[in-house]
Amino acid sequence: MRITIIVPLQLLLLFSISVIRGYVFPDDFKICKSIDPNLDGCLAESIQDALFKLANPGIHSPINLTISKVTFPYFLFTPDDSEQNTTIECFNLTYPDLWQARVKNVSVDLCNPALDFTTNSAEITAFIQRFKMLGKINQQGKPEPKQGDGAAIIRYYNVTMKHSLKFKLTEKDNEKYLDVTSYNVKISISRSTIFFGDVVEDNVALEEDALAKMDHQDVTLEGNQKKRFQTFGALMFRGFAGQLINSVPMDRIITDWSKACVNSTS
């Protein structure tokens, strides 16, 4: 299915920024030194530490930011093919557990600022407060008519994301900062399940709690579907990373980062 994001990313992020009391970045976070011989390992611990603290409860200084519950007020799924000819409108799509991921395979380039790392989540759940669906869904190899208006749950299993960030140096008040210039994500998912409530099949309402359950082996995994999902993920993560990383000078993120390349070539 095609994923259409109606609300601008800048507005979507406002739904996640509501921290009254929280941590101070980077004072309360694990910080690595540029001279650390195991810098990549230290950064893996640092990013893991940041994920938990950004979610529980988040930071209130120098900016307000939390990733404990990411909510998008409106999504539109439109069909990619004739067999899955279904349009689904989603209202208040919420991801409460994006932060529950394990970080590994970290690699940083201090001189040409770049960062790569991998996260793995056993399960990611999306709650849709209300959906409106009309069309056919390819269930067990057969397109079946479906329509509905209710709540839904999407679960993604064994989600691996490979994150690649690039930065450029900027200067403010005689301090060097990092701007995120690109954020790419490659995503693999073992499988996903979708539970639709209040679904009507052939004009007969399904039992309320039985729901219509569909296993989609190919959801967001192949071709354009995968590309769109990855593009959306990159936009979302870039928004969070950009706000956080640019909120303080680079030498407060990794100690003496700005001097690392000067020292290495002297």
Tens of pLDDT, residue by residue over 68-123, are 887 778 777 665 544 455 667 778 888 888 888 999 999 999 999 999 999 999 99
Give CA–CA dist 148/170, Å, rounded.
Answer: 50
pTM, full prediction: 0.77
Long-range contacts (CB closer than 8 Å, 24 or more residues apart) made by 229-233: 229/3, 229/187, 230/184, 230/185, 230/186, 230/187, 232/3, 232/5, 233/161, 233/185, 233/187
Per-residue pLDDT for 171 more than 90? yes
Q: Is the pLDDT of residue 47 over 50?
A: yes
Give the helix, strand, coil percentages of the chain, each rounded to 5.
Answer: 25, 50, 30
| Residue 180 neighbours by CB under 8 Å, 6+ apart | 165, 166, 167, 238, 241, 242, 245, 246
Q: Are 34 and 110 in contact (CB under 8 A)?
A: yes
Residue 40 pLDDT grade (very low, low, confident, very high; cuts 50, 70, 90): very high
Distant-in-sequence, close-in-space partners of 226: CB < 8 Å, separation ≥ 6: 187, 220
Q: Which CATH class is domain 2-258?
A: alpha beta
pLDDT of residue 108: 97
Whole-number pLDDT of residue 265: 43
Quote the pLDDT of residue 66.
86
